[in-house]
Amino acid sequence: MLQGKPLSLLPLQTLIYYDILYSHLYFIVTAVLYIYKSTILTYPPNTISLECAGLAFFIFLQYFRLFIGIVGNKAEGPGVMIHFLVLTIPSIFGGVFFIALQLYVLIADRVMNIIFLIISSIEFILGIVVVIRFKKAESTR
């Protein structure tokens, strides 16, 4: 860590914190929606299990990405923040899948995923700003 003024962004750290809380809500609501859809709607064989497996992978990716974002922002490490940005891209693709490419998409799915995509996009932009700040501080050191 460099001495002097902190380079990490408080808005990014706050957004990641609230994204963790939103992720809990997102995954609970999405799991309940899958239970609802599997009982009310008819799925082709193995489709619901593949979508649930995709959700489980998405959960793992999301929490891993947010953990890396917290560590990278607090430690002021540009390399860790670059990993955060790289993991944000497949996370955004996961959100697009759950908003547009599921077999059945309910209004609740759309709302939850639009909120997720907005939060992830803002985190991506702030992550780029943080990496630039960290690199600039490294070069002046």
106 lies in a domain? yes
- In this structure, what are the phi and psi dihedrals at residue 132, rounded to the nearest 5 degrees? -60, -45
21 lies in a domain? yes
If one counts the domains in the chain, the total is 1
54 lies in a domain? no
53 lies in a domain? no
> Which tokens go with 94?
């996961």
5 lies in a domain? no
* Of residues 1 and 83, more confidently modeled: 83
Cβ atoms of 66 and 16 closer than 8 Å? yes
pLDDT band at residue 1 under the 50/70/90 scheme: very low
Cβ atoms of 97 and 110 closer than 8 Å? no
4 lies in a domain? no
2 lies in a domain? no
115 lies in a domain? yes
Domain that holds residue 32: 10-46+59-140
Regarding pTM above 0.85, the answer is yes
Read off the pLDDT of each residue in 96-119 and give the average, rounded to a whole number. Answer: 93
- Residue-wise pLDDT tens digits, 23-75: 999 999 999 999 999 999 988 888 989 999 999 999 999 999 999 999 999 99
